[in-house]
Structure 1
Amino acid sequence: MPARHLAIVLYCAVLVFSALYAPQPLLPVLADAFAVSEAKASLLITVALLPLAVAPIAYGFLLQRFSARRLLIAATWLLAATQALAFFVTSFELLLMLRLAQGLIIPAMLTSLMTYLGSSAEPGQVARVMALYIAGSVMGGFLGRMASGLISTHLGWRWSFLCLAGAIALCALLLQRLRSDPPASFQRLEWGAILKVLREPTYLRLYLVVFCAFGAFASLLNFLPFRLVELGTGLNETGIALMYAGYLMGVVTSLLSLRLSDYIGGTVNTMILGTAVFLAALLFFTGSQVWVMFVGMFVLCAGMFLIHSLAPGVLNQGNDGQRGVVNGLYIAFYYAGGATGSFLPGYLYHGLGWHAYLGSLAVIVGLGAWLLWGLKGKLTHA
């Protein structure tokens, strides 16, 4: 794949994840603007994450009929249009509908991006370009939050949507320069294959681990802005967005996780360490000092990405003929956890307070640690 084409695809990956998470630091502002509760405002993230839980099943057949390039270009234009329309909304319900539309568009883009990369890269370069894709997705998660907070502070929240729409429209134009992707053998998921994988205790445990981990992770990232406002920190949207700088720890952790697993006895042990780091990170958020929570975000992301960067490798150690199903279900459980965590725990926060809410996250992560502990000694080279 030519370097310029790879750069265009990575630019697209950054923008997809930017669009997915850009509203997060703006949630308190949007809640005030539309006079809705914290839990209702958090739906702006939930409705965008929820379709990602069923995307591997719902979108697989499209790539049997259309090239990844064509599907990617069409979906990118649609995403740009929904971002632009958000500039004009006058009701929360309409904004929520636009976010739901984005949640339906983004899975098509992610599926197309990964398929295009996998089919266009040279055989010896697939691992490298996929690693770059993951790094781009992490960067997008941070840059989307940072840019939206910065733009909202100086121009207003509506402009954060419009500016991102312009960047995505530019991406759609650049995607026209990509060469056609070669035909890919993309098999649809079948219910029988799905049930067969879910009956495997090892796979099911790992799926539940990532459901718990990303559920707790997405939840804290979603409700942290409301906590910062509740504490009277005086942080504006830019200040809140900067709290997500720890997200960049995901790049470092992903690169070092395999090396670390060699030192501490395998990937399962390393993922258990990730849950311990995650639990320790929650302590940073029990107080009221902003700088402590800022540091805690780096610790939190280190723990989360120790789990997320290693779990797919463990899942792909066996069942060569079922890898499409195994990986598709991983994505489904990952984002199902994120969608659940970004919404339901908000009621606990609203009803019982911040510390009870953090306690519930600790229980969820602890459940993930217990599930991982049951895998010790059961996985080869893990």
Structure 2
Amino acid sequence: MSFVKKFDLFIIVYCIIIILSVMYATQPLQPLLAREFDISVTKASQFTAIIMLFLAISPIIYGYILEKVNAKKMLINSSIILFITNIFLGSSTTYEFFMFFRTVEALVVPAILTSLMSILANMDKENVKFNMSIYVASTVFGGLVGRVFSGFIATNFSYQFVFYSLSFAILVSIYFINKLSYEGEADIVKPKISDVLEILKDKRFTTIYLLMFCVFFVFAGVLNVLPFRLKDISTDISEFQISLLYLGYGMGILVSLNSKKIIRFFKTEVNTIIFGLVFFLFITVFLVLPNIMTMFLLIFLFCLGMFTVHSVSTGLANSLKASQKSLTSGMYLTFYYLGGAIGSFIPSIIYEKFGWNIVLYIFCFILFLTLILIFTRRKLFIEEK
């Protein structure tokens, strides 16, 4: 790889980390923001859910609005908007203002991620698979960094400084984006209803899409309600201590970079998914234990189970159809983030009314039904792949 391509890759990775940090920075701060704005658990959960919702519907919206667009220009313009909104988030004194600027962010984050993925896929066509694994690892690392640093900054400085520091990081990314050598257009798919219906008629795709909807619903639900659960266990716990529980998220990097070895160990993709689901369900049951140190260790294992299912399912979905890979990938992400958006919102309502244990029992029931679905349809992937 030439120096120019390496520098471009560094810029893309840095931008991905910053964008995912912006996405998840509010998560460990939710109890603090709920107190600050005098709002409910459910309303505070919307700060993360809104971005996931727009990530779910963006393949449809951007596909119809933007036929062709220069990826670098879209990156710069969207990043400038993100830079401004983070300053306003830091200075917001009411829930309504904060939510408005968070919604504006939700509109531009998918545009930035679409551009970054497009540049990464096209800047070095000989190493597309390697670049996509870098993309996945960078998103996971960004989600981890965003959560931990926001907790650290909020505890040692103020929650406002979290957003000001993110604005500074975005400003640095704008400087770097200008140095990108890539000048091509972003690959934006305009989905045809007939093509979507044809893919949904294929039981293999609907199985994988339902699987990821349910798995990410549970995963996002646990991680979004977790800060409130920790405050219930100990009112003295700081935002930084809460954010440290998200260190388990780093398991996603290890799993995504070693997914081939994991599949080899379990012989097939379907076996790996079934094992991952059983493990994920098993760990979810134990999250009822009201101990912060136990919870810290369990979250590592919880993330291990989820990312095993996610990384293997992504590869499986991309290998099922030789044509229309952009559309099948876009639909995968739509179901994935839709599960995350609903999972970041609905469980917080249940938690407020019925408590943590009931939320977990519902999650376990959903995972059990998902496991039955995968087990009964496992032959579809062996016979037809």
CA distance in 2, matches of 1:306, 1:287: 24
Inter-partner Cα distance in structure 2 for 1:180 and 1:49: 28
Map Cα deviations across residues 55-114 of structure 1 (whole Å, 9 max, x no partner).
111123566432111111111111111111111111101111111111111100111001
Which position in structure 1 is the counterpart of 2:289?
287
8 Å contact kept, 2:233–2:292: no
Q: In terms of mean alpha carbon deviation, does 57-66 or 250-259 score higher?
A: 57-66
Q: Report the Cα distance in structure 2 between the residues aligned to 1:233 and 1:291, rounded to whole angstroms.
A: 15
CA contact under 8 A between 2:90 and 2:163: conserved in structure 1? yes
Indicate the residue corresponding to 2:71 in structure 1: 68
Residue 349 of structure 1 corresponds to 351
Query: Kindly tell me: are residues 375 and 208 of structure 1, through their superposed partners in 2, closer, same or farther at Cα, counting changes over 3 Å?
Result: same
Q: How does 1:25-104 map to 2 (within 5 A)?
A: 25-61=28-64, 64-104=67-107
Q: 2:226 aligns with which of 215, 221, 224?
A: 224
Q: Is 1:207–1:334's contact at 8 Å kept on the other side of the alignment? A: yes
Distance 2:185 2:291 in 1: 54
Structure 1 stretches lacking a partner, 5+ long? none
Amino acid at match of 1:290: I
Residue 132 of structure 2 is matched in structure 1 by: 130
The residue number in structure 1 matching 2:317 is 315
Q: Which amino acid aligns with 1:278?
A: F
Which residue number corresponds to residue 208 of structure 2? Answer: 206
CA contact (8 A) 2:79 2:170 kept: yes
**CA distance, structure 1, for counterparts of residue 138 and residue 120 of structure 2:** 13
Q: Which structure 2 residues correspond to residues 14-29 of structure 1 after superposition, within 5 A?
A: 14-29=17-32
**CA–CA separation in structure 1 for the residues paired with 2:172 and 2:78:** 13
Letter in 2 for 1:156: S
Structure-2 separation of matches of 1:185 and 1:133: 16
8 A Cα contact 1:210 1:308, kept in partner: yes
Tell me how far 1:252 sits from its aligned partner. 1.0
Structure 2 unmatched runs, 5+: none
1:375 aligns with 2:370: no
Check conservation: 2:213, 2:336, Cα contact below 8 A.
Answer: yes
With the length of structure 2 as denominator, give the TM-score of the two structures.
Answer: 0.95
TM-score (norm 1): 0.96
Q: CA deviation at 1:166?
A: 0.7
Stretch moving more, 192-201 or 181-190? 181-190
Report the RMSD for the aligned CA atoms in angstroms.
Answer: 1.5
Shift of 1:304: 0.4
305-314 or 319-328, larger mean C-alpha shift: 319-328
Does 146-155 or 364-373 show the bigger shift? 364-373
Identity %: 34
Across the two proteins, how many residue pairs are aligned to each other? 381
Letter in 2 for 1:169: L
Instruction: State the one-letter code of the partner of 2:92.
Output: V
Q: Which amino acid aligns with 1:66?
A: V
CA displacement at 1:183 relative to structure 2: 4.8
Q: Assess if the C-alpha contact under 8 Å between 1:213 and 1:304 holds in 2.
A: yes
